[in-house]
Amino acid sequence: MKQWNWRLISTHTILIIGVIFMSLPVWVAFATSTHSAESIIRNGLQFWPGGEFVNTYKEVLFVKGGVMKSVLGTTMLKNSLILGIGFAIGKVVISMLAAYAIVYFRFKLAVPLFWVIFMTLLLPLEVRIIPSYGVVAGLGLLDTHFGLIVPLIASATGTFFFRQFFRSVPDELLEAARLDGATAWGFFKDILVPISKTMIAAILIIMFVVGWNQYLWPLIMTTKEENYTLVIGIKQIYQVLAEGGEVPQYQKAFALTILATLPPVLVVLVFQNWFVKGLVESEK
Partner 1 sequence: MSKVQLTNVRKTYPNGAEAVRGVDMEIDSGEFIVFVGPSGCGKSTLLRMVAGLESITEGQIQIDDRMINDVSPADRDVAMVFQNYALYPHMTVRGNMSYGLKNRGMPKEEINQKVTEAAKMLRIADFLDRQPNQLSGGQRQRVAMGRAIVREPKVFLFDEPLSNLDAKLRVQMRIEIKRLQRRMNVTSIYVTHDQTEAMTLADRLAVINDGKIEQMGTPIDLYNNPATLFVASFIGSPQVNLLPATFDGQHLVSGDVKLPGFTDLPTSTDLVLGIRPDELHLDDNGQFPMRVDIVEQHGSDNLIYGGILGAINEGDEETEFCFKAGQDMLPELESTLKLGFNAERAMVFNKESGERLR
Q: Which of 37, 191, 209, 210 binds partner 1 (CB under 8 A)?
A: 191
Q: How many CB atoms lie within 10 A of CB 234?
A: 18
Does residue 189 interact with partner 1 by CB under 8 A? no
Does residue 281 interact with partner 1 by CB under 8 A? no
Does residue 111 interact with partner 1 by CB under 8 A? no
CB of 106 to partner 1, least distance (A): 11
Judged by CB under 8 A, the stretch of 25-33, 113-121, 172-180, 224-232 that binds partner 1 is 172-180
Q: Which of 63, 93, 111, 176 binds partner 1 (CB under 8 A)?
A: 176
- The amino acid present at 18, given as its one-letter code, is G
Does residue 172 interact with partner 1 by CB under 8 A? yes
Q: Which of 18, 25, 194, 244 binds partner 1 (CB under 8 A)?
A: 194
Q: Is 283 exposed, middle or buried (0-12, 13-18, 19+ CB in 10 A)?
A: exposed
Of 67, 30, 74, nearest to 52 by C-alpha is: 30
Does residue 170 interact with partner 1 by CB under 8 A? yes
Phi first, then psi, for residue 143 (nearest 5°) are: 65, 25
- Is the CB of 178 or the CB of 224 nearer to partner 1? 178
d(C-alpha 40, C-alpha 44), whole Å = 5
* CB-CB contact of 283 with 198 (8 Å): yes
Does residue 109 interact with partner 1 by CB under 8 A? no
The DSSP secondary structure of 100-117, one letter per residue, reads: HHHHHS--TTHHHHHHHH
Residues that bind partner 1 (CB under 8 A): 170, 172-173, 175-183, 186, 190-191, 194-195, 197, 283-284
